[in-house]
């Protein structure tokens, strides 16, 4: 039986081993002497999002509200809160330029959503979050250092012009879908 560990094998063979008067420790030493124990493999945990938690990340779990305390209306309220810099093409190129060719190849065809938290006063990017679905996404294999590099690049290079409507909020949240095709 391939890839059955000691505990499961002992549980399956418990009755025949008792009849032969072979206990758990003796059975373990028999398997060890004949090199029949499987070597443990590293378990890689894949996360669905990269938040890059730091003390400076204050908006990740903060509810978006208007500065005067009035509720946010989803329907009927103008949605234009910022004018985008050259739309999403510049943002997409900024993100993909930070990835190596190998990382782009692994993430080819997969989707990631980049959430930008923008300051309503200055129009600069304050925080960045990355979300990947499903969990076998190629973006999940990219190391966190690369996401930190993308975040720093976005904070330095991207600036929005905030409209009068956008200045009413405590922050402005923008989602950018990113998908690498080639």
* The pLDDT of residue 47 is above 60: no
On the CB side of 26, CA atoms within 13 Å amount to 7
Show Cβ contacts of residue 138 under 8 Å, excluding neighbours closer than 6 positions. Answer: 106, 107, 108, 109, 110
Phi, psi angle pair for 164, to nearest 5°: -60, -35
Q: Across the chain, what does the average pLDDT equal?
A: 78
Q: What percent of the chain has pLDDT over 90?
A: 7
Contact in structure between 123 and 162 (CB atoms under 8 Å): yes
Task: Name residue 178's beta-bridge partners.
Answer: 112
pLDDT above 50 for 19 = yes
Report the predicted TM-score, pTM, of the whole model to 2 decimal places: 0.62
- DSSP class of 181: -
Q: Considering Cα of 69, then 130, then 148, then 144, what sign does the dihedral take?
A: positive
Asked whether residue 160 carries a pLDDT value surpassing 60, the answer given is: yes
Q: How confident is the model at residue 75 (pLDDT cuts 50, 70, 90)?
A: very low
Rounded distance between C-alpha atoms, residue 114 and residue 129, angstroms = 6
How do beta strands 161-162 and 82-83 pair?
antiparallel
């Amino acid at each position: 039986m391939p890839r059955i560990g000691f505990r499961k094998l002992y549980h399956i063979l418990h009755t025949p081993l008792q009849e032969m008067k072979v206990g758990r420790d003796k059975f373990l030493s028999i398997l060890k002497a004949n090199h029949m124990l499987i070597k443990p493999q590293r378990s890689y945990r894949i996360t669905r999002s990269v938040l890059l938690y730091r003390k400076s990340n204050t908006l990740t779990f903060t509810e978006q509200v208007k500065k005067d305390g009035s509720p946010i209306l989803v329907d009927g309220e103008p949605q234009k809160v910022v004018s985008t810099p050259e739309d999403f093409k510049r943002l997409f190129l900024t993100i993909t330029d930070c990835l190596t060719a190998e990382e782009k190849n692994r993430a080819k065809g997969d989707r990631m959503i980049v959430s930008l938290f923008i300051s309503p006063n200055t129009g600069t990017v304050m925080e960045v979050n990355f979300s990947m679905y499903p969990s076998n996404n190629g973006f999940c294999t990219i190391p966190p250092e690369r996401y930190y590099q993308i975040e720093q690049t976005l904070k330095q290079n991207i600036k929005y012009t905030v409209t009068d409507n956008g200045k009413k909020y405590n922050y402005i949240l923008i989602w950018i879908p990113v998908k690498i095709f080639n």
